[in-house]
Structure 1
Amino acid sequence: MDISQQVREFLMTRRAGVTPAQVGLPPGGGRRRVAGLRREEVAVLAGVSTEYYSQIERGDIARASEEVLDAIASALQLDDVERGHLFDLSRAAGPRRRASVPTNTVHANVQQLMDAMPGLPSTIQNGRLDLLGTNSLGRALYADVYDRYRGPGVPNLARFVFLDDRSREMFPEWNVVAADAVATLQVQSARTPRAKAFVELIGQLSTLSVEFRALWATRNVSAHRRGSKRIHHREVGELVLGYEALELPGAQGLQMVTFLPEPGSPTADALRVLGSWTATAARVVEDVPLSRHLPSDD
């Protein structure tokens, strides 16, 4: 992926989102040709020359010091995730070095932890939004994602959201889910910009989805560690779930996402029903005689 283009578009879109009044600058004389701050205004706020800031915005960011990046982040009023993304872009723009390989395997202890929470749907995902693992209730919650997946490897939530029409039924607030997915992928784009699987994913989504292309162009970044999500489940109806996303120590780039229903709510009741059905189905499979699983000698 073109790091210079990412830097340019990220800084330009952040600059467009800040007005002079927000940073205590006078509006300036004459007609403004930009929606937000001018380059020279960002330079003044960051304490650098306009020429130097312009070079950085054009993509020449690798040689910028941490102090300069911090100053630019403050001038543009970046939040913690956006600030981290700016530093990730700076590192990605530097000399190529062997990148650490993200973990894509769910450790047995993590699987055991998820399985020990049978009443709470839990999943493991990476920065590409691959679904690497679930507990039984998490699998049941994302039944449509798994049932409609065709291909090697594991399902990918971004592909499901943008390339499968069923996603608009499963997620009543599809626009929010889609924007959140792209903002997560933007964060990953600076961490593994040259990873083959990631580049192929972004290329496929950009080619096949107009909505994805429009959201990708905003360059918004976000880390969704806590929030709520509405899911329409084909068996138990609409669910309103809070969620907590926890980084897994020792498993680079992996998050465990656990969904939490409001105690005593219709969603909690629906999850109990779904969990009961899931447990019953698992027992039926276990009770099938071994001979039923073996090929016939005929």
Structure 2
Amino acid sequence: MSSKSELGEFLRTRRAQLQPADVGLPVFDERRRVAGLRRDELALVAGVSESYYTRLEQGASVNASKEVLDAIARALRLDETERQHLSDLAAGVVRKGGDRVRKPAPERVSETTRQLIEAFGDTPVIVLGRRSDVLAWNRTGHALFAGHLDPHSPEHPAQRPNTARLVFRDAHTRDLYEDWRKKARDVVGRLRMAVGRHPDDPLLAALIGELVMHSPEFTALWSEHKVRAWDVANYRMRHPLVGVLDVTQQAMTVPSGRGQRMVAVTTAAAGSKAALALLARATAETTVPTAASPEQARPARARSAS
């Protein structure tokens, strides 16, 4: 992945979403050759020269100041998450032109984090790495999100489930979410954030390449260049063991986790609370079957539901 091309694509897609009237520019009766704002119009609103903005969009400028980035963010009407992504992408261009970036170290869950997972009791919890690999989960976290997979798989780096891969290539996971497209958009948006923060991660690039190759749906969403923050998300899930669950998935940054996030699942719906309690009891009393790959998900799901 090229930081320069990622920055240019992000700026172009955001520029294409705005019309002159959106930023207070006069609209003339003319045949416009581009969708959205032209470069000169965006530069005018941001208060920078057209040539400078063009160089930035083309990746030819590696020294954009915070003030300039803030001005462009305001002109593009970016929200806080998009502003952070813009900053990350610009920083990636600087790193490419300067110091060599070290290969990311293998991801591990600390003993402190494992103790925190246990402290959640029967509340479903998973810990995700920078690429959305599952680094750890508790019993109910495993049962809720991927009960058809080996519960010990996060302990082996080569076998770790990846939530993005599961959402786009795993039949069981697709069936879990009533509004699968909402979940898919959230997953893609978070991967976009990861690319901005880790532009030189070869495993992240390989994951994205795999999903582009195997999933037209991923490719279409990826081309939108939208970003999503790791915060709070609400979903309706249809679990094969306990039925419908209205859940809130809340992500928290793991201290000293180098990009790791802990996702805990709660619910305010009485029926969903009872279903989660049932899931906790079921996982304590049964042995969950395993599957070796995402392609084996549907047969495993059928066995778990029978």
Same fold (TM over 0.5): yes
For 1:143 and 1:100, the matched residues in 2 are separated by 30
Secondary structure of the residue aligned to 1:28 is coil
Secondary structure of the residue aligned to 2:149 is helix
For 1:173 and 1:210, the matched residues in 2 are separated by 18
Per-residue CA distance 1:65-106 (angstroms, 9 max, x = gap) = 221111111110111111111111111112243348467211
210 and 109 in structure 1: CA distance in 2 versus 1, 3 angstrom threshold: same
Per-residue CA distance 1:240-274 (angstroms, 9 max, x = gap) = 101211111111101111111115x1110011111
Cα offset, 1:211, TM superposition = 0.8
Do the aligned partners of 1:145 and 1:160 also contact (CA within 8 Å) in 2? no
Secondary structure of the residue aligned to 2:211 is helix
For 1:126 and 1:102, the matched residues in 2 are separated by 12
- Higher alpha-carbon deviation: 191-200 or 29-38: 29-38
Q: Aligned residues: percent identity?
A: 39
Secondary structure of the residue aligned to 2:35 is coil
Cα offset, 1:151, TM superposition = 9.0
1:25-40 map, 5 Å = 25-40=25-40
Which TM-score applies when normalising by structure 1? 0.88
Q: Tell me the amino acid that sits aligned with residue 146 of structure 1.
A: L
For 1:147 and 1:170, the matched residues in 2 are separated by 18
99 and 203 in structure 1: CA distance in 2 versus 1, 3 angstrom threshold: same
CA RMSD of aligned residues (A): 2.1
68 and 189 in structure 1: CA distance in 2 versus 1, 3 angstrom threshold: same
Gapped regions of structure 2 (runs ≥ 5): 288-306
Do the aligned partners of 1:171 and 1:231 also contact (CA within 8 Å) in 2? yes
86 and 188 in structure 1: CA distance in 2 versus 1, 3 angstrom threshold: same
- Higher alpha-carbon deviation: 202-211 or 15-24: 15-24
Q: Tell me the amino acid that sits aligned with residue 17 of structure 1.
A: Q
Secondary structure of the residue aligned to 1:242 is strand
61 and 180 in structure 1: CA distance in 2 versus 1, 3 angstrom threshold: farther
Aligned residues: 281
Query: Which residue in the other structure is 1:168 paired with?
Result: 174
Gapped regions of structure 1 (runs ≥ 5): 283-298
Which TM-score applies when normalising by structure 2? 0.86
> Which structure is larger by alpha-carbon Rg, 1 or 2?
1
Cα offset, 1:50, TM superposition = 1.0
Alignment counterpart, residue 261 of structure 2, candidates 255, 267, 270: 255
For 1:203 and 1:224, the matched residues in 2 are separated by 22
- 2:14 matches 1:18: no
Cα offset, 1:23, TM superposition = 1.6
Alignment counterpart, residue 231 of structure 2, candidates 220, 225, 229: 225
1:11-90 map, 5 Å = 11-90=11-90
Do the aligned partners of 2:62 and 2:93 also contact (CA within 8 Å) in 1? yes
187 and 260 in structure 1: CA distance in 2 versus 1, 3 angstrom threshold: same
